[in-house]
Amino acid sequence: MKPIVAVIAPGMMGSVVANRLTDHGLAVRTILTNRSAATIARAKAAGMIDATDEEIAACDFILSIVPPGEAIGLAQKLAPAMRAANKKPIYVDCNAVAPDTVAEIAAIVRDTGAVFVDGGIIGPPPEPDSKNTRIYLAGDDAARVTILEQFGLSMPVQPGPIGAASAMKMSYAGITKGFTALGAAMMLAATRAGTADSLIAEMQISQPALFGWLTRQMPKMPSKAYRWVAEMEEIAEFVGEDPAGQQFYLAAAQLYERIAADLEGPQQEVGALNAFCARKG
């Protein structure tokens, strides 16, 4: 029999992961209570089915794909239903959280009798060629989740215990999103100093690959900045034994929080970043 999967929540990533599964013939459940009209529409477009906590707990797999700050809360919310379930699900936490946070979530899930697997998503929402997006898995039961590769997902097993997949995610996102924060800070500083055009001209000569990456990524960042605040805080925890590294990512969290507020308000800094990228020609 085909597995039944729950994907929570139907956000930009979760809905597309669900769509890959439904396109391959799986039933995918989610929770739509108190969700916005846009989220409900996105879930329905992906073929997702609204379900109660009990129906979620009855699934074969639960994929938790929520903002980092909500990862523990989701496990706590579903714990009573998982504890009461006769057949225990495999709970895969796919969120951008530090290994210590994963250990806390694992303890909540295992206390219900359910199986826990650590996960970490690297890449954009998966398109038909899902190899561009990988959900890394770790833990003793990680191989059991790879059955979902038969249904449109790419799920490599990361060697190591619970926390290894999240460490992979933290280190990768720490480079890509950390570098985006650094680039944003310097674009804004150059704009304030009146040297943006000179910086653009020099980077096009001496750092064309780096400049191209930054100007492709930066316009996408402001709409995601609110979600990256907690992710930067989790990365700061991940590098906690390095005080300088920890402070860098806490500062990145503050920058993303400021950009998110600016996007909802005057859009002065967002406008400056967009203008910088538009002048690249």
* pLDDT string in tens for the chain (281-residue length): 899 999 999 999 999 999 999 999 999 999 999 999 999 999 999 999 999 999 999 999 999 999 999 999 999 999 999 999 999 999 999 999 999 999 999 999 999 999 999 999 999 999 887 788 999 999 999 999 999 999 999 999 999 999 999 999 999 999 999 999 999 999 999 999 999 999 999 999 999 999 999 999 999 999 999 999 999 999 999 999 999 999 999 999 999 999 999 999 999 999 999 999 998 65
Is 90 strand, coil or helix? strand
Amino acid in the structure at residue 261: A
Structure-token pair, residue 191: 């704009």
Amino acid in the structure at residue 76: Q
In 3D, which of 142, 75, 138 has the Cα closest to residue 104?
75
Q: Phi-psi region for residue 128, left (φ > 0), alpha (ψ -120 to 50) or beta?
A: alpha
The verdict on pTM exceeding 0.85 is yes
Measured distance CA(31)–CA(74) in Å, rounded? 11
Measured distance CA(164)–CA(51) in Å, rounded? 31
Q: Residue 20: its pLDDT value, please?
A: 97
Q: Residue 241: its pLDDT value, please?
A: 92
| Inter-CA distances, 178 with 168, 185, 200, Å | 15, 11, 20
Q: For the chain, which domains are there?
A: 5-161 (3.40.50.720), 167-278 (1.10.1040)
Residue pair 52/62 in contact (Cβ under 8 Å)? The answer is: no
